[in-house]
Structure 1
Amino acid sequence: MIRIRLKCFGRKQQHTYRIVIMHSKARRDGKVIEEVGFLNPQTKETHLKVERIKLRLQQGAQPSETVRNLLVKAKII
């Protein structure tokens, strides 16, 4: 199954996240199919590739709970 979820990177205590498309069995920081966004929780900055996310959702990708909340705030879902 394909999932839309967060991939962690950054320094200790200063995490930032990439919103990525990857297989559900892959590790959190494992191989990704496609990067579709960015989230910085310290500055509340978010960038989303809306067309790519909508396309992947139509193809059957399932968002994680956190990503689902972000998509609802951005009015994509």
Structure 2
Amino acid sequence: MFLDNLIQYNMNKKDKNKENERIQMKMKNIIIKICLLSAILLVLNPIVAAEICECNSCEDCTKKLNDASCTEVYLSKNISA
């Protein structure tokens, strides 16, 4: 009886160790996925947050080109001097 209980205890302990290993692997996978997603978002953020400005005169275009928030400046109409 004692030996049977000891064997059962050891088997339960091994099962718990295996379960703990599975949980640790799942946690590692989740952490890796979160890190990859964060890296992708950090890389794409400047692209998504790009501000496109339009200008329609020389003076307006000069202001927009000097504006740090404008990442791209488009001339919206033909200007000729």
* TM-score using structure 1 length: 0.20
User: Which structure would you say has the larger RCO, counting Cα contacts within 8 Å and 6 or more residues apart?
Assistant: 1
Higher helix residue share: 2
Larger Rg: 2
